[in-house]
Amino acid sequence: MSTATSVDTAKATVEAALDALLAANDPKKMDNVAFRGARYDHGLAWVHFPEGCGGLGVRPDLNRLVEERLRKAGAAPQDPATFFIALAGPTIATHGSEEVKKRWPAFETGKFYPPKAIEDPAFADDPYDQLSALFDPLSGFMDDPMLAAHNLAHAAKQHGAEFLFHKEVSEITRDGDVVSGVVLKTGERFEAPIVINAAGPHAAAINRMAGVYDEMKVHHRPLRQEVFSPPAPKGFRLEDNAPVVADLDLGQYFRPHMGDLLNVGTTEPACDPLHFLDDADNWNDSVSVEFFERVMLRLARRLPDFGIPHKLLGIGALYDVTDDWIPLYDKSSLPGFFMACGTSGNQFKNAPLVGKFMRTLIEAQEQGIDHDVTPVEVMGEFTGMPINLSAFSRLRTQADTAGNVMG
């Protein structure tokens, strides 16, 4: 009788790559950037991505093995400021202009940079040179965010959550030096040892109400924005499998939408004024002809067959924007009061993960861990890579970002 031995060849591949990396590179003696470059070259940046792109083409749970062994060998943990790069880097491929034209023939691939106001005579200049593009094939978008939000709410109800709509919070209560609950404008009181501020554009007002706003090093406030839904040109509809496009060359983003439409918004270029508000309850939700014309004319430069629609269709709404456009997922100086805010218009799809972030922060407090002193981490369920939550701290040094809705 013979016995079959099961060999985990994927794990063996990763172990061999780790042996080779550490034999040639000592993380205790090397600059961290140089070591991370060597790690990439050995396929150990993100093992589940192709060889030559920082990976080995093996299953993602083996990233955890990499992190554990490299930490043990003395490698520095991931810099919290590189969190978003770490999310995008594994899946991005670079395409030149010809590849872009082949995939999406509707595009004009010439350069117009920098973004310009439509009143600027240079706005009408011919494009120069050719663009390249970064394409992330594993990303996507919610084509019906309202339905997705309803589905999340329904799922939460099945687990015991209750929703109170059209209610206004008037007070965050304390019992000594800890939070004790909230009071509504109607006089209703809710006692709770944990309060999470996820109030969107009203979140800054809630943080002030709780007395925690002034101690924050990164602040946030509501920003009014407009998004439009013009007809989609041929070749850029949902049925064409068109992507979300972050067009920083012209200063906007767009994606296909249901009903043969597009969703189009701006990436807050320097030539456009930003409309921050002091009061998230006092603003106009209608769209303006001026904003509409600006966005449509820019879009027509990238999609020459688009034309300029005569019907103005869109919405005005608010972002809750931080100083560096990175969200705040954190505790506060008031024990028991937490914040999940400053999401800057780009965190909707991260909502399930944010729930795990907040649970981890709350459990850390209950265990006596001061996140401000000893930052907590969440291990990526599918990547096996740690996420250092100090990247989202209210006390962080402001990050150097693009300063727009794309992060």
Q: What is the pLDDT of residue 90?
A: 45
Torsion angle, alpha carbons of 130, 134, 139, 142, to 10? -30
- For residues 130 and 145, give the distance between their C-alpha atoms in angstroms, rounded to a whole number: 34
Q: Please check whether residue 140 lies inside any domain of the structure.
A: no
Q: What is the pLDDT of residue 268?
A: 94
On whether both 28 and 164 belong to a single domain, the answer is no
On whether both 124 and 242 belong to a single domain, the answer is yes
On whether both 358 and 305 belong to a single domain, the answer is no
Q: What is the pLDDT of residue 82?
A: 56
For the chain, the helix, strand and coil percentages under 3-state DSSP, each to the nearest 5: 30, 20, 50
Q: Please check whether residue 347 lies inside any domain of the structure.
A: yes
Chain Cα centroid distance, residue 203 = 18
On whether both 159 and 60 belong to a single domain, the answer is no
Residue with tokens 């309060």: 195
Per DSSP, which regions of 28-152 are E strands? 93-95, 110-111, 128-130, 133-135
Q: What is the pLDDT of residue 21?
A: 96
On whether both 282 and 351 belong to a single domain, the answer is no
Q: Please check whether residue 407 lies inside any domain of the structure.
A: no
Structure tokens belonging to residue 297: 């004319």
pLDDT by residue (tens digit) across 154-167? 999 999 999 999 99
On whether both 192 and 281 belong to a single domain, the answer is no
In the sheet that 178-184 helps form, which strands lie side by side, from edge to edge? 169-175, 178-184, 189-191
Q: What total number of domains does the chain contain?
A: 3
Closest by CA to 209, choosing from 341, 78, 89, 48, is 341
Q: What is the pLDDT of residue 384?
A: 75
Cis before residue 114, ω within 30 degrees of 0?
A: yes
Task: Point out the residues of the chain with pLDDT beneath 70.
Answer: 1-7, 78-95, 138, 407
Range of the domain at 158: 145-219+325-392
Residue with tokens 């209703």: 188
Q: What is the CATH number of the domain that holds 196?
A: 3.50.50.60
Q: What is the pLDDT of residue 94?
A: 62
On whether both 174 and 123 belong to a single domain, the answer is no
* Residue 228, H or E segment: strand 220-228
Angle at 383 between CA 133 and CA 60, to 5 degrees: 95
Q: Please check whether residue 99 lies inside any domain of the structure.
A: yes
Q: What is the pLDDT of residue 147?
A: 92
On whether both 129 and 241 belong to a single domain, the answer is yes
**Residue 204, amino acid:** A
On whether both 282 and 229 belong to a single domain, the answer is yes
Q: What is the CATH number of the domain that holds 279?
A: 3.30.9.10
- Of 304, 322, 340, the one marking the end of a domain is 322
Q: What is the pLDDT of residue 114?
A: 95
Q: What is the pLDDT of residue 24?
A: 95
On whether both 119 and 171 belong to a single domain, the answer is no
On whether both 209 and 257 belong to a single domain, the answer is no
